[in-house]
Amino acid sequence: MLEKLIGQKIELLPKVPKDNERLCDICGGTGWLYEKGRGFIETCHNCYNGVLQLCEICHEPVRGMCMNEGCRNHWETERENRLLSKAVISSYKDVPNEHKEMMYSDDYQYNEGYFMEIENFIEYCNDEDIPLPEYVWSTQKIPLSLDASSIIESACEELHEDAYENITKEDELQEFLDDWCNQQSGVDSYSVNYKYAIRVDSK
Ligand SMILES: [Zn+2]
Ligand SMILES: [Zn+2]
């Protein structure tokens, strides 16, 4: 068997590109490089397997997402439309308070895209010459919370093995923690939730 393999000429055939693929011009589509003189074959550094993936929009070779501005905008619009199709399109006043304490837009370059007043957002867009989008997004408040059982559990880790079992009044600690958390201010965080698309021109 071994004798048969030794001396056998390895012939590498180019791959057949699929739609949205193109043969790699460095290795000619084989995925391997042959170095004359050194006589060894190494994998092509320009492609994974002889073919290059092409962007569906501009047909340039890409790895992952195409970074061309036009193509990025295309995917961004598509993503936005997908989100819109699932969202409740609302005027500001119809959005429940807990979802509009903060709002979010990709166009807003401050505060990681979060703002409290639509007016400020409109002003920002005008100042920065950004075309005013039709919608901004609702958010979800993430309050500060402390979990009694995980606090107790980690406190018991260094104690004797039945210590955790012997703990009582865990619910009282939880009540205390909830109350304590509620007294803190400036700690609530917000995260975009795409549940409501809030019309920018609405009050
Ligand atoms: Zn290649
Ligand atoms: Zn592209």
- Helix (H) / strand (E) containing 86: helix 69-86
Residue 25 Cα, ligand 2 centroid: separation in angstroms? Answer: 19
pLDDT of residue 42: 84
- C-alpha 124/C-alpha 106 separation (Å) is 13
Residues with CB under 5 A from ligand 1 (ion): 24, 26-27, 44, 46-47
Burial class (CB in 10 A: 0-12, 13-18, 19+), 70: exposed
Residue 71 Cα, ligand 2 centroid: separation in angstroms? Answer: 5
Enter the pTM of the model: 0.65
Q: What percent of the chain has pLDDT over 90?
A: 63
Residues written for the chain: 203
Backbone conformation region of residue 31, classed left if phi is above 0, alpha if psi is from -120 to 50, else beta: left
The 10s digit of each residue's pLDDT in 98-112 is: 999 999 999 999 999
Q: Give the strand pairing for 103-104 and 114-115.
A: antiparallel
The 10s digit of each residue's pLDDT in 87-146 is: 999 999 999 999 999 999 999 999 999 999 999 999 999 999 999 999 999 999 999 999
Ligand nearest to the CA of 67: 2
Residue 33 Cα, ligand 1 centroid: separation in angstroms? Answer: 8
Query: Is 78's pLDDT higher than 70?
Result: yes
> For the CA atoms of 152, 153, 157, 163, what is the dihedral angle to 10 degrees?
70
pLDDT of residue 27: 87
First-to-last alpha carbon distance for the chain, in angstroms, is 81
